[in-house]
Structure 1
Amino acid sequence: MSTVASLALLVSLSASPAAAPQAPRVFAPDVVSSANEEFGAAFTPDGNTVYFNRADPTRFTFQLVMVSHFRNGRWTKPEVASFSGRWRDIDPALSPDGKKLFFASNRPVKEGEPVRKDFDVWMVEREGNGWSAPRHVPEVSTDETETNTSVTADGALYVTRTPTSPGGKRAIYRHGWKDGRFGPGEKLPAPVNDSVHGAGNHYISPDERYLLFSSEERPGSLGRYDLWVSFREGESWSTPRNLGAAVNRGDVLTPVVVPARGVLVYAARLPFQMEPRAKPYTTDEFEARLRSPGNGQGDLYEVALSAVGLPTDKAAAR
């Protein structure tokens, strides 16, 4: 099947909580996933609201958090989240109960201070139908860069931390929650963290049974950035398993499990053209490709949990 035909098949499938796809498909095509750069999805417990990142065409100059709701069988036009839009805000993550949302930002800790050169962790809390003012989380923010976060049912926060020193590899840390604050970060041991290939862009199941993460060209990789899963074994972690060729196409990042929808949602940047074309593009075809998901920018994809060997029981995932 040609690249164009494959894309058309993906886009033709609509997002529905009742029909978890067995093969990866574009999530909410032309609404959430668009011709722009999208990544970093986070869902409310009922699976009917998604927060996600949309970025400028360069991917690295400006990013903000947007929100869309599933209503009357379709996703609404995304809007900028109430706490975002001024600074570079990335990687939203909701607590399992939906009452807290964490994200990374380069915003100054105090109004009037310079924009930070690194990313720190911030959070908002649910207040009625909206969110509180963003609060800096100093216990997990350092002079290094903290990006992706993921929250357990017990309140522990898993954080991706990237050293500022040249050549340093990102790694995943766990900050336990006790007495109303986060404790010191504990770097996850090998085989999750790998000083050669790094680990990050993670999702921890609320019961801490398993961890999804991305790693760069780890042995057994199918691309540059692949998704892997590791299961807890007492105080250690199992040898990571690659999620397979159906998922790991292009650069694959920011996984999140959505129990209410029975799916894994992740971001992937697929090349604009992966196979030679049998016929030249027409002007209209080429312009349509440029305006659609799959144009080389990042898009969100979804796939059934069962299709990638992840637990499907909702009780364990909350």
Structure 2
Amino acid sequence: MRPQRIRTLFGLRSLGLITVVFLGVILVQGCDASSNAAWLEETVRTPRVFAPNVISTSLREYGITFSPDGQEAYFTRRPRRGPPQILVSRFEGGSWDEPIPVPFSSEHDEAPRISADGQEMLFVSRRLIPGSGDRSDNIWIVSRGEDGWGSPSPLRGLVNQPRSETGDFVTGSELGPVMLLDGSILFWSRSDPDWGADIYRSELLADGTYEQPVPLRINSTGEETNVAMSPDGGFLIFQAYRDASAPGNQ
């Protein structure tokens, strides 16, 4: 029996958001469209709850990612009161096992995303970055070796920014990271009180650090968030509120 595949991109339950948000699908320039056809062949007319009462419960579950072989599901679970946590469930004997915390678990970890080779994981955390005193939402990375997952570390370079406030507006949160096939990353953030959330890309440099992030051309005056990439790197999928000031036009 093959693992049940999730078809909802940004949550584990049927999304009421569908009526108010736009899901953008971008064919990445330079890719052969025929090689990506399989990712858009199947139309799911009725969203179904994924792994009910095991992964999907009465709590909040979101931000799911699968190992390349489809046998491990990592996701965020958040109680009604309390910080989020990353859990893992394994597909064994024809069903998903009871989820357990990942070995590197800490308070307020969320939004895991596994690399295409399954050897690295990006996630968002409010852990204290050594030497900075910063506890805003930052992107961390952890590698997997022969003995399992190691110890996480914050991304090196210019991606993670300290928290700052301008009136009621807060910056310094880097969210929803995705690792591309070349090692660069995508994430979304709010960097300007007069502008909505945008998706950024940061290139991986030869010294292992990440360069200054640059906004993608798909960004608008609305909001672009929750970016995802097809496993072969051919399709970019994202959530957008293209005109948050005009109800019915999102």
State the TM-score, normalizing by the size of structure 2: 0.72
- 1:107 to 2:135 alignment: no
C-alpha separation in 2, matches of 1:168 and 1:62: 28
Residue 169 of structure 1 deviates from its aligned partner by 1.8
Partner of residue 70, structure 1: 91
Following superposition, the deviation at residue 204 of structure 1 comes to 2.1
CA contact (8 A) 1:152 1:207 kept: no
Larger Rg: 1
Q: Does 1:178 align with 2:201?
A: no
Instruction: Give 1:16 deviation, angstroms.
Output: 2.8
Higher relative contact order (CA 8 A, sep 6+): 1
Cα distance in structure 2, aligned partners of 1:89 and 1:34: 19
Give the aligned residue type for 1:153.
L
Q: Are the equivalent residues in 2 in contact too, given 1:16–1:73 (CA < 8 A)?
A: no
Post-superposition offset of 1:89: 0.8
1:223–1:46 distance in 2 versus 1, CA, 3 Å? farther
Equivalent position of 2:183 in the other structure: 155
The amino acid across from 1:212 in the alignment is I
SS of the counterpart of 2:174? strand
> What is the CA-CA distance between 1:211 and the residue it aligns to?
1.2
- Unpaired runs of 5+ in structure 2? 6-41, 163-171
Could you report, residue by residue, the CA deviation over 1:144-201 in whole angstroms, capped at 9, with x for unpaired residues?
A: 10010111111111011123x6454211111112313322211101xx2122x21111
Query: Number of paired residues?
Result: 201
2:77 aligned counterpart, secondary structure = strand
Contact 1:203/1:211, CA 8 A, preserved across alignment: yes
1:50-91 CA-to-partner distances (Å, cap 9, x unmatched) read 110000215xx410100000001000000011111x321111
Report what 1:200 is aligned to.
225
Cα RMSD between the aligned structures?
2.8
Secondary structure of the structure 1 residue equivalent to 2:210: strand
How far apart, in 2, do the equivalents of 1:46 and 1:176 lie?
27
**Structure 1: unaligned runs, 5 residues or longer:** 1-13, 227-318
- Residues 158, 204 of structure 1: 8 Å contact kept: no
Deviation at residue 30 of structure 1 after TM alignment: 0.6
Mark the CA change 1:125 to 1:188 in structure 2 (over 3 Å): closer, same or farther. same
After superposition, residues 205-284 of structure 1 pair within 5 angstroms as 205-216=230-241, 218=243
Indicate how the Cα distance of structure 1 residues 217 and 194 shifts in structure 2: closer, same or farther if over 3 A, else same: closer
> Is the Cα–Cα contact under 8 Å of residues 89 and 98 in structure 2 kept in the other structure?
yes
- Tell whether 2:190 aligns with 1:137: no
1:120-135 superposed matches below 5 A? 120-135=138-153
Inter-partner Cα distance in structure 1 for 2:71 and 2:43: 17
For the 8 Å contact 2:120–2:144, the answer to whether it is kept is yes
Higher helix share: 1
Match of 1:79 in 2: 100
Distance 1:73 1:21 in 2: 24
1:217 deviates by: 5.9
Overall identity of the aligned pairs, in %? 29
In structure 2, the CA distance between the partners of 1:106 and 1:159, relative to structure 1 (3 Å rule), is same
Aligned-pair CA distance for 1:215 = 1.8
SS of alignment partner, residue 121 of structure 1: strand
Kindly state the Cα deviation for residue 115 of structure 1 after the two structures are TM-superposed. 6.3
TM normalised by structure 1 equals: 0.57
State whether residues 175 and 187 of structure 2, in contact with CA within 8 Å, keep that contact through their aligned partners in structure 1.
Answer: yes
